[in-house]
Amino acid sequence: CGTNIKNIILVHVGESNFGGKVLPTMIGNKVTIGHGVVLHGCTIEDRAFVGMGTTLLDGVVLEKNIMVADGSVIVLVRP
């Protein structure tokens, strides 16, 4: 079974971020993305699970086999 993307998903490329770099949105193999997820300039590696209503923002990398709970907001924290 391959990647599974549910309904009402918003996928953006991060073009106007603080670093001024274009950040592609990359989705790996055998990933499950729940309903109502927002992906913005992030990377999701193989076999990850993203729960319903989650938001992943610029520069976030979800590593292989990770599970993110419903309704989470994941940001990249810079020092």
The single-letter code of the amino acid at 46 is D
In a domain, 54, yes or no: yes
* CA–CA dist 28, 34 (Å, integer): 15
pLDDT computed for residue 79 by the predictor: 64
H/E element holding 10? strand 10-12
In the block, which residue shows the tokens 């193989």? 46
In a domain, 75, yes or no: no
In a domain, 48, yes or no: yes
In a domain, 25, yes or no: yes
Residues 21-79 pLDDT 10s: 788 899 999 999 999 999 999 999 999 999 999 999 988 999 999 999 999 999 988 76
Q: What is the CATH number of the domain that holds 61?
A: 2.160.10.10
In a domain, 42, yes or no: yes
The pTM of the whole model exceeds 0.85? yes
